[in-house]
Amino acid sequence: MIERTLFREEHQIFRESVRRFVEREIVPFHAKWEEDGIVPRDLWLKAGAEGLLCCTVPEEYGGMGLDYLFDVIVFEELWRSGASGPGFLIHTDLVATYLLSFGTDDQKRKWLPKMVSGEAIGSLGMTEPHAGSDLKAIRTRAVRDGDDFVIDGQKVFISNGQLCDFVVLATKTDGNAGANGVTLFIVESDRPGFKRGRNLEKLGMKAQDTSELFFDNIRVPATNMLGKEGRGFPLMMTKLAQERLAQAIRSATVTETVIEWTVEYTSQRSAFGQKIADFQNTQFKLADLKTKATVARVYTDKCISLFMEGKLDPVDAAMAKMFTSELHCEAVDECLQLFGGWGYMWEYPIARAYADARVVKIAGGSIEIMKTIIARQMFAQHGHTLAKSG
């Protein structure tokens, strides 16, 4: 089998530490958190104490200044355990990254040390009820009033929405400027007018709190602006490749994991006088999935390397996200079938993995958006600009 070559000895030592933490602090309690629809705040503090949050944050801002692979290891070990609950990915890979890339020194010093420790939980507020992938169409408004901005609007499908201490919020500061009217703000959850809606009841990822958020005449100082006024949209675009890479890492990891579960189960379970693994159908199904999973892993790891070199472009990330997401959904479906009736029982991890999987074709940009990005580059290379479809 092809061996992964990304990780050095220090990465492997860290992986063992993360795995022990997950097995001790997450796995025994995850079923209860799924019932609750949320994880406890003290888990974040424990994760921070173990160095699992925001691994790449520089030491000057309270972090360890490690490379991106340390964050990757945390995400992989969470997903390998079947845990969908802790919203560490949004907190670490997106919110902290926005602050590091676009924040002022004061903003970084205020929030990053608390994010590293788990004392402050970050969230990202972009999606609205009528505007999903089309971020230019958001309606949440920020109107300047002296040295402040007054924000009104709402967001939906916001991960960490029930727990967050602040949200990086996409707003419109100029409703007539399209993409050039989008501005990002840091909005603290204890400001008057910040209202959390219901914790949304989802098909899967039930331990991950996902919320509606409402902003009613919230006043924030102009110093809370992240980046420059009217520059929010291009700033968001610069982070899409990283967000889609994270989705690919997740899908590649879960695909490998459910295959392992299924090999183990079919090797032990009998039907019609023989092990399920002895049926040729089982062997062919799993051999097909294993081959695709290996291809997905190699390509995803290549994208990780490109990202760390600053060379991952949006099309490579879109292809990784598209291929791994579709494989993820195929794998959980085929593997659940091999579990038979037990695969449909929530007590079995494969059932929860099946429910958790469906969102991967939507999160981080839908499969259709990924195909559009890829197709546009293909035709552009031949001098043809595709017409926009509605």
List the catalytic residues: 243
Distances (CA, A) of 43 to 119, 244, 279: 10, 26, 43
DSSP label of 309: T
What is the separation of C-alpha 282 from the centre of its chain, rounded to a whole number of angstroms?
32
Residue labelled with tokens 């092990």: 275
Nearest alpha carbon to residue 237 among 102, 360, 130:
102
Residue labelled with tokens 């949004």: 90
Neighbouring residues of 45: CB distance < 8 A, sequence distance ≥ 6 = 117, 118, 119
Q: Following DSSP, what letter does each residue of 250-303 receive, concatenated? A: HHHHHHHHHHHHHHHHHHH-EETTEEGGGSHHHHHHHHHHHHHHHHHHHHHHHH
Q: Following DSSP, what letter does each residue of 69-83 receive, concatenated? A: HHHHHHHHHHHHTT-
Rounded-to-integer distance, Cα 237 and Cα 288, Å: 35
Under 8 Å between Cβ of 185 and 226: yes
Residue labelled with tokens 């290549």: 302
What is the separation of C-alpha 298 from the centre of its chain, rounded to a whole number of angstroms?
20
Q: Following DSSP, what letter does each residue of 42-61 receive, concatenated? A: HHHHHHHHTT-S-TTS-GGG
Residue labelled with tokens 């933490």: 21
DSSP label of 161: T
Residue labelled with tokens 């402040």: 148
Give the Cβ contact number of residue 350 at 10 Å.
Answer: 22
